[in-house]
Every structure is written in C-alpha cells, then in structure tokens.
Amino acid sequence: MQINYFIELLGGLALFLYGMEMMSSGLELVAGDKLRTVIEKMTSSFFKAILVGTFVTAIIQSSSATTVMVVGFVNAGLMTIYQAVGIIMGANIGTTITGQLVALNISTVAPIIAFVGFLLNTFSKNKKKRYVGQAVIGLGFLFMGMEFMSESMEPLRDYPGFVTMMTKFENPILGVLAGTAITAIIQSSSASLGILQAIANQGVIPLHSAMYIIFGFNIGTCITSVLSSVGSSKNAKRTALVHVLFNIIGTIIFVIISFIIPIDEVITNISRDLPAAQIANLHTLFNVTTTLLLFPFSRKLAELSFKIIPGIDREQEEMSLQFINKNVIKDAPATFTDVKAEIRRLLEVVTKNYEDSVSLLKNFDEEKYDEIFRREEAINYLNKEISSFIIDSLGLAMNEKTSANFAAYLRISRDMERIGDHSKNIAEVAKLKDDQKLEFTDKTFEELSELNAIIEKMFKSAMGELDKRDRDIFMRESNETVQKEASTFRNNHMLRMRQKICNPESGLLYEKTLAALERISSYISNASKLAN
C-alpha cells in the first residue's frame, strides 16, 4: 500500500470518529437533562425500561453513554439493578441505529450535509438549533470519513496477504477476540462497526468473517460501563456486570446458532447488495434477537450478578433498617423492642460521626470528611424511617406506658439527627480551618479536649446499662459541666484574642465549635433522660 493511501486511511478514520463524537454530543445537548429524567422516571416496568433504553440510545447514538448514566443512577440509589437490566437491553438495540445510518450510503451528499450543519451552527441564534447544527455537521463528517476510509482501502483487495488475514476471522474465537479488542480500545461499538463497514464495502472481508467480529464488538463496548463502575457501590458494579453477561451470553448463543444455521446467508438474502447494509442488519439482528431471547431471564441475570459479586456495601447497610421490618405486623411490646434496637444502631452511627468530626480539628483528612457527610445521609435516612415507623405503630393496641415509650423514642430519634447536624458543623469548621490554613493554639486544643472527654463519656452512657436514676444524674451533671466550661473557655478565648495570642478568624471557628459541642451535650442528655 502506498503511503498516501495510508495517510488517507488515517485522515478518514479521524474524520469518521470526530464526526461520530460531534453528532453524539450535539444530539445529547439538544436533549439536555431531559434524557436523564426519562431514564430515572420511566422505568416502572421492565418492558418500559427496554423502550427507554432503546429510545435514549437512538437519540444520543451511544450505548456506552446510556449504560454509564445507568451505572451512575444505580450507584446513587435512584434506580434498582432490576430496572437497569431493561435499560441495558434497550441500549443494545438503540445502538444499532448508527450502523443503519452508515449503511444508507449517502456519502456523495455528505459535504452538503456538513455545510447545512455549519450554517445552522454558526448563524442560528437559537441555542438548540446550534446544537442540531453540530449534530448535522457530525453526520456529514461521519459519511465523509467513511468515504475516505473506503477509498483508501480499495488497494487492499489486490494484496493476497491482507485478504488471507481477513479470512482467518472465520474462526469464531479469533473473530470475537479481535472485535472485543478493537472496541475496548476505541470504546465505541458504533465506531468499530463503521470501520468494519468501510472495509467490507471494498469486498476485502466476507460477511462470514465479519459476523464473529461484530459479536466481539458487543462485548468490547462493555469496557466503558465497567470502567465507570470502578470505585462505585457493589450494585453499580453488578449493573456493569449485567451488561457484560448480557453480551457474552448473546455472543455464545449466536456462535452456536452459526454452526447450525448459515446466519450470513440469511442476512445476505434479506439485505441490499451492499456489504455495509448487510453488516448493519447482522448487528441489528444480533441485538434484537439477544434481547428477545434473554428478556424472560432478566431477573435471573440480575440475581446472577449478586452471586458473582456477593455481599452488601457499608452504605447500603447503613441506608436500611436492620431491626425494623415494616412488612411484619407485631404487637406493641415486640414492635417497641425493634424500635429500641434500631435507635441503638442509630446512636452508634451518630457517635462515630461525632468522634470523626472532632478528630478532624487537629488532623484534617479529606477522605474522613467525605465519609462524615456520607454517614450524615444515613443518619437522616434512619431518623426519617424510624420516625415514620413509630408514628404508624401508635395505631397498635397498647397501654399508656408503652405509648409514652414510643413517643419518647420518637423524640430520641430526632435528637440523634440533630446531634448529627452539629457534628457535621464541626466537620465543616475543620474543613474551613484547613482550607484557610488557620491554627488553634495549644490552649484551645486543651479546652476542646476537656469538653470532648466529657461528651464521649456521655455518648457511652447514653442508653447504657446504668440504672436510669444514676444515668440521669450523670447526664445532668455532665451537661451542666459542659455548658459551664464552654462559657469559661469562651471568655478565656476572648481574653487571648485581646492579647493577640489568637487569630480573630480562628476565634470565630472556635466559637462555632463550642456552640456545636454545647448543643450536642444538651441533645445527648435529653435523649438519655427519655430512654428507659
């Protein structure tokens, strides 16, 4: 092959990929955030989820983008893995649209299409029309790149070595591996398919060889969703795994079928006499048929992902009730026992958040800071669910004492949530202190350490095994000590600032910390008095 043909191939490939990226980006901008809303909301049934996946992917021309969004939704808890399976299946159907567009073979008018898009994108005052123009430019570039690639590969028909190499892909394993590797590198099955269509249009690769490469494309495109799930929740990883399983199982099914039925001959008989069209139709047949075959087993696919990736995330564990079961009706005393156990668990989470927040004042750690805010979400969730359950339980038959206990624990849950808020405030002070490079004096840290020692003992004693009377006395005295010492420390700090020992900005942060500690002490004392 002459060097100019190779240069034309590279230029055509660049133009093709750039055009695809422009078209996909433009269409996504036209749709805006509505696509995310559609994905998030329109998944009440499995069939509807498939339609949504197909529709969204057909619009943005990227199954990878759709699956990445879905992995993100599952990771955020906005969607279940069972809903995600349907969207993934639909995305595999929607991604076939690009191949069908390429097969239209309208490369002769591609420059006109690109010019029309340029006019829209450049001269339109409407933002959405400009985005449409961008998509149209991309479409034109796509066809122009396709034409350049086809022309540059025309001489390959005369190279026996290249033709022989292409026929080797008739081996299913080699073909699938090649297709997987190509798409894993490019991270777009649509782009890989377009390149294959350009090669096929020159009669260099027979459909029987291209068939197995196409199957591999569908496996290779999973790499994007797999990468997006790295560092995410187990359910996000399971969602990416379902995408991989779906395409691997589909490939195995089609490879087996290819030994029984001449799929390439069937496609040739029902398609135009154009290799690009035949490849597009084979790609469509693969994805539609795989979805139809695996549709009844969608739940099984999700369950298989749970077996391969077992266990639950710490976040999932915290963001769920462990002792309260809303679906099981118990009598009032048994229900109260469950509520008490769940409150104890909430206290453990609140205590951990308090301890971590205070520790940040001396040694700030970004990871621990993020963990505090993640745990704060769990505290809010548990308070909401426990409170809701207690209110519903008040309708059970119970005596006055049990009713008073339920009411008391409703108050305790809310106090725990408020302690969580004040602990978060301390963490925010620590963050501000670190960002602004402010320092507390050794004396300031001594004072904070004194208050913290008292409050930590209060946490350990709260709802402990001490006699209620002894616990109430301890909590009252401890809280009074905290309030009194906080007031003394505040005056001491004012004196230090007048003597210019302390920075006024640091002083403001210290004041906020003292206020938070005072409130935490009061809430933990109140909660303990209510417990019995």
**What are the mean pLDDT values of the chain's consecutive 10-residue runs (532 residues total)?**
68 78 74 60 70 80 75 69 85 84 74 88 85 85 77 64 66 89 79 81 82 90 80 79 92 92 89 87 92 88 88 62 76 83 88 94 90 89 92 86 88 93 94 88 90 92 68 89 92 82 81 93 84 59
Decide: 237 and 309 in contact? Cβ < 8 Å.
Answer: yes
Token duo for residue 238:
């399971």
CA separation (Å) from 256 to 84, 244, 260, 261, 423?
Answer: 27, 18, 7, 9, 60
Cα 298 to Cα 86: distance, rounded to the nearest angstrom: 7
- Residue ranges of alpha helices (H) inside 32-80 are 34-41, 46-60, 63-75
* Cβ-based burial of 435 (10 A; exposed 0-12, middle 13-18, buried ≥19): exposed
pLDDT value for 317? 56
- Residue ranges of alpha helices (H) inside 327-467 are 332-362, 366-393, 400-435, 442-461
pLDDT value for 131? 85
Cα 506 to Cα 441: distance, rounded to the nearest angstrom: 9
Please give the helix or strand (H or E) that residue 270 lies within, else none: helix 263-270
* Cβ-based burial of 331 (10 A; exposed 0-12, middle 13-18, buried ≥19): exposed
CA separation (Å) from 200 to 122, 214, 272, 281?
Answer: 36, 12, 14, 13
Find tokens 């589909």 and name the residue: 250
Q: What's the number of CA atoms in the CB half-sphere (13 Å) around residue 215?
A: 29
pLDDT value for 315? 55
